[in-house]
Amino acid sequence: MTVAGFPIWQQLIQERIEQALGSYLPAADSPPVRLHQAMRYVTLGGGKRVRPLLCHAAGEIFGAPLAALDQIASAVEMIHVYSLVHDDLPAMDNDVLRRGKPTCHVQFDEATALLVGDALQSLAFHIAAQSIPNVTAERQLDMLALLANAAGSRGMAGGQAIDLAATGQSLEIVELEFMHVQKTGQLIQAATLLGAHVGGAHPDELHNLGRFANRIGLLFQVIDDILDAEASTDALGKTAGKDAAANKATYLTLLGSKPARAFADRLCMEAHEALSSFGDNALRLHQLTDYIVVRKN
C-alpha cells in the first residue's frame, strides 16, 4: 500500500479539523450572535493545527477511528484557541495580529474576547465528554482529567502566569524550561496522549508517547523563540520580535543562536528516539517532529 506524503496527509487532517470545528461551533446567526460570530472568527480558517495533527498522528499508531480523533482533536484545538485569544488581550500580551488577521479584541471588543475564551473552553469539555466509540467511560474520565490538568494552573494557565511574572526578569535555563513545559508543552502532550487514548493505548505506550511529547513541546518552543527573532511579521501572521521588545528571556537570549539550534537538534533526536518502540506506525509523528523544526510560522 502506498502511503500519502506528509503534505497531503497534513492537508487532509487540517480539512477534517476545519470541518469538525465548524460543525461543533454554534451557528453565527444563533443568539448571542456577536459571541458566536467571534467564536467562529477566531477558531476557523487559520492556524497550523499542530495539536490536532499530533492527536491524529498518535491515534493512527493504534488504528483509532478518524471521526473519534476529529472529536477529541477539536476539543484540544478549542482550548488552544481560547488561550491565544486571552493571551492577545491588553492585560496580557496586548497584540493586534493573530493568524494573519486582527485579534479578537480588536475585531470585536475586550469583553467579547474574554467571553470567547470562556465559551471555547466550556465547549471543548462538552465535546470531549461526548461518548467516543470503543472508549470506556473510565478511560474517558482519565482523558477529561488529562485535558483539565493540561489547561489549568499546573499546565497552560500556570505557565502563562509564570511567563507574565517573569517578563523583564532574568531567568535560569531550568526556570525557562519549566515555564514552557507548563505553558506550551502540557497541551501538546495532552493532544498526543488523547489521540493515543482514543486508539486504546496501554500504559507503557502512553509513557513512551509522553516522553516523545515532552521533547517536541520544548522543541516547538525553541523554534518559536528562533522564529520570533528571525522571521517577519508577514511570514508569522503575528507580530514578530515581541520577545525582544518585551525584554523576555528566551532560549535565544539565554543560550545564543547557535547553541539554541543545537539544543533544538538534540530535542529533535530525542523525540525520534522516544518513538522507536512504535516502528513504522509512528511515521506521522516522525514527520510532524521534522515539520516542527522546519516550519516557517
Identity of the residue, 114 or 129, whose beta carbon is nearer to ligand GRG in the bound complex: 114
Put residue 237 in one of left, alpha, beta given phi > 0 → left and psi -120 to 50 → alpha. left
C-alpha cell at 287: 514527520
Near ligand GRG by CB under 6 A, which window of 27-35, 68-76, 153-161, 255-263?
153-161
* Binding of residue 95 to ligand GRG (CB under 6 A): no
Cβ proximity of 44 and 18 under 8 Å: yes
**Rounded to the nearest whole angstrom, what is the least distance from the CB of residue 236 to ligand GRG in the complex?**
9
Q: Is residue 56 close enough to count as binding ligand GRG by CB under 6 A?
A: no
- Between the alpha carbon of residue 83 and those of residues 104, 111, 233, the distances in Å are 12, 15, 20
Contacts of 59 (CB under 8 A, 6+ apart): 68, 69, 195, 196, 198, 199
Phi, psi of 188 (to 5 degrees): -65, -40
* Residue whose CB is less far from ligand GRG, 155 or 199: 155
For position 186 contacting ligand GRG by CB under 6 A, the verdict is no
Name the minimum Å distance from CB 171 to ligand GRG: 15
Q: Alpha-carbon distance 274 to 195, whole Å?
A: 17
Site string for ligand GRG, 195-234 (x = CB under 6 A): -----------------------------x----------
Told to check if 185 binds ligand GRG by CB under 6 A, we report no
- Give the one residue of 160, 186, 192, 289 binding ligand GRG; rule: CB under 6 A: 160
Nearer to ligand GRG, 201 or 271 (CB): 271
Q: Which residue is nearest to ligand GRG (CB)?
A: 47
280-to-132, 212, 269, 284 alpha-carbon distances in Å: 26, 15, 17, 9
Where do contacts with ligand GRG occur on this chain (CB under 6 A)?
47-48, 50, 83-84, 86-87, 99, 156-157, 160, 183-184, 224
